[in-house]
Amino acid sequence: MTTATLMHANMPRPDRLRFGHALSAEWTKLLSVRSTAWTLAALVVVSVGLTAIVNMLAAPDLAESMADGEPFEPVGAFVMWGGQFGQIAAFVLGVLIASSEYASGMMRSTLAAIPRRGHVLGAKSLVLAGVVLVLGIVTTFGMYVAANFFLSREGIGMALTDDGVLRAIVGGGMYLAVLAVFGLALGLLMRHTAGAVTVGLATLFVVGNLVMLIPGAAGEWLTKLMPGNAGSQVAMVESFNPNLLDPWVGFAVFAGETLLLLAIAGWLFARRDA
Amino acid sequence: MITARALTKRYGDTVAVDAVDFTVEPGTVTGFLGPNGAGKSTTMRMAMGLDHPSSGSITINGRHYRDLPAPLHEVGALLEARAIHGGRTAYNHLLWLAKSNGIAARRVGEVLDLVGLTEVAHKRSKGFSLGMGQRLGIAAALLGDPGVLLFDEPVNGLDPEGIAWIRRLIRSLAAEGRTVFVSSHLMSEMAITADHLIVIGKGQILADTDMNDFIARNSASHVRVRSPHVTELAERLAGRGWSVERADDGALLVTGASAEQVGDVAGSERLYVHELRKVEASLEDAFIRLTADSVEYHAAAPTGRSDLTTAGV
């Protein structure tokens, strides 16, 4: 240990900070914390595993009911069954990317290093969306393979070229990526992990079901437009609920809602004290 | 150089920093002294662009923090809270900071060596002691070899060896010509480390002075004398040109005279004296007197002094 401080180290100095610096910093941050790796691993493994178990159990009955000509549920609805867990993992990861920095005080280091808050938010969103998109597609493809293994044994398997299969694999990854950004926006807005997770899960997965109870056209439209309902359809080969928006229309609505939430969070982020 | 001009921060009705002006010069250690809640951390956070001033400004080398082209190359800061994610290793914490400002990864090893954390570089920081965490924070501050350094309460919670190390480091950074701004609530700490002193209380600057001047002015002792003829004695003593104050218990506090001189005056005027002694003032007392009206909570509120005062403190 020494008290010399390497003054005049002649370090190269960028003439200004670019967005690439922020991207590189956020990428390093994301990969250097174990909880990220655990959450992402859980997303993939549990989603695929649950899908396998559910399809293993349901495939015989599904095949039987289809042979009777009256399937009790569309087969395609079972292919991405484990995505119900995966979406929670993606959302929580998004929340943590923002809220954990407030919990630890890291946000101050972040903003001291990158004073342009737009850069911070943009870099966080892009890195998170990119990572979750790639692992999301790995997950949806894995769920398809796992489900199809059991469905095919009963003779009710689906080919990649079948209606909606490829769309659900790609769209499912995109849905998880946007969902993670939804979590990030909420985490940044509320700055509190438990609060953001509670509010987010309730909005996405509870209120979406409750508004179905509202009678009339108002209830119908609210049900269609709630972020969880609108966004999740793209991730399913066939829907359990036929009264929701078409997959890509729904996804566009969900992406729009997420961008709006991100814009509000970003506006506040730029104005609030860190 | 750090420059605050009419810097103000309000939280609702509370004024945390009240139209503060000061300049922190390069090549010296400037101590930022004040009781807890005086506005030190708020001021430092505003300097770092973390909190937004309600009005006024604080700039570094003439620019607002957010306008610095590559901030870590110009400013290094050790903030009061450990702004570190416990799940990340020391090396990775410094690595992302380096990348954020285009600093070569090789520099991470250099600063780890500098603060003596090389051996635990790949350990997660949640297992670090307070001192190790503080060293990691200092490594982060030195990463970009900045010319301006802000240390918020750097010795808090450190063991004596750690305190001595930080003092040496702070001194050497200033000796290299850097601007060093160090906050503390301990006068004794400032007296050892700082060349210049800015005292803040209730958001206002109470003193902005050379440390040696402050010590010379405030370590002056006084003579305490009690007498049944207090009014007469006070007049006689003040007549000699000495500063006389009346303490809460009625005793007179005489500055500028020795105990012998005070006793001689009383004797020649035939006034009884019940107590006569020299009281050594400490810097800590000077600080407490200076900030007495500005601390938010204190054990006993001092009452007003008598009208016999000829010179204030």
Sign of CA dihedral B18, B4, B155, B33: negative
pLDDT at B310: 37
Burial zone of B30 (CB within 10 Å; 0-12 exposed, 13-18 middle, 19+ buried):
buried
- Identify the residue with better confidence: A132 or A34: A132
H/E stretch holding B193 reads: helix B187-193
Cα–Cα distance, A78 to A60 (Å, whole number): 13
Structural contact between residues A101 and A107, judged by C-beta atoms closer than 8 angstroms:
yes
Binning pLDDT at 50, 70 and 90, where does residue A9 land?
A: low
pLDDT at A7: 53
> Comparing C-alpha atoms, which of B97, B66, B73, B101 is closest to residue B84?
B97
Q: Which residues in chain A touch residue B173, judged by CB atoms under 8 angstroms apart?
A: 5
Interface confidence, given as ipTM, is: 0.91
Q: Do B169 and A3 touch (CB under 8 A)?
A: yes
Q: Do B87 and A34 touch (CB under 8 A)?
A: yes
pLDDT at B73: 96
pLDDT at B10: 95
Mean pLDDT of A249-268: 97
pLDDT at B179: 97
Binning pLDDT at 50, 70 and 90, where does residue A2 land?
A: very low
Window B:104-123, CB contacts with A under 8 Å = 104, 107, 110, 114-116
Among A51-60, A63-72, A188-197, A222-231, where is mean pLDDT lowest?
Answer: A63-72
Tell me the average pLDDT of chain A: 92
- For residue B90, give the 3-state DSSP assignment: helix
Percent of chain A with pLDDT over 70: 96
Cα–Cα distance, A204 to A241 (Å, whole number): 16
Percent of chain B with pLDDT over 70: 92
Q: What are phi and psi of B118, to 5 degrees?
A: -55, -40
pLDDT at A1: 43
DSSP structure string for B116-130: T-GGGTTSBGGG--H
Q: Could you tell me if residue B250 is left (phi over 0), alpha (psi between -120 and 50 degrees) or otherwise beta?
A: left
Residue A233 has pLDDT above 60, yes or no: yes
Q: Do A108 and B173 touch (CB under 8 A)?
A: no
Q: How far is A24 from chain B (nearest CA, A)?
A: 6
Q: Which residues in chain B touch residue A267, judged by CB atoms under 8 angstroms apart?
A: none
Q: What are phi and psi of A206, to 5 degrees?
A: -105, -55
Cα–Cα distance, A234 to A164 (Å, whole number): 9
Q: pLDDT 10s per residue in chain B (313 long)? A: 999 999 999 999 999 999 999 999 999 999 999 988 899 999 999 999 999 999 999 999 999 999 999 999 999 999 866 778 888 999 999 999 999 999 999 999 999 999 999 999 999 998 998 889 999 999 999 999 999 999 999 988 788 999 999 999 999 999 999 999 999 998 888 988 999 999 999 999 999 999 988 887 777 778 999 999 999 999 999 999 898 988 888 899 998 888 999 999 999 999 999 999 988 777 787 888 788 776 655 554 444 443 343 333 3
Mean pLDDT of A53-70: 89
Give A197's contacts (C-beta < 8 A, 6+ positions apart). A91, A92, A95
Q: Amino acid letter at A229?
A: N
Q: Which residues in chain A touch residue B168, judged by CB atoms under 8 angstroms apart?
A: 3
> Comparing C-alpha atoms, which of A46, A54, A50 is closest to residue A151?
A54
Single pTM value for the model = 0.85
Interface residue A63 vs chain B (CB under 8 A): no
pLDDT at B295: 61
Q: Do A17 and B172 touch (CB under 8 A)?
A: no
C-alpha dist (Å) from residue B138 to A12, B43, B78, B123: 21, 19, 6, 17
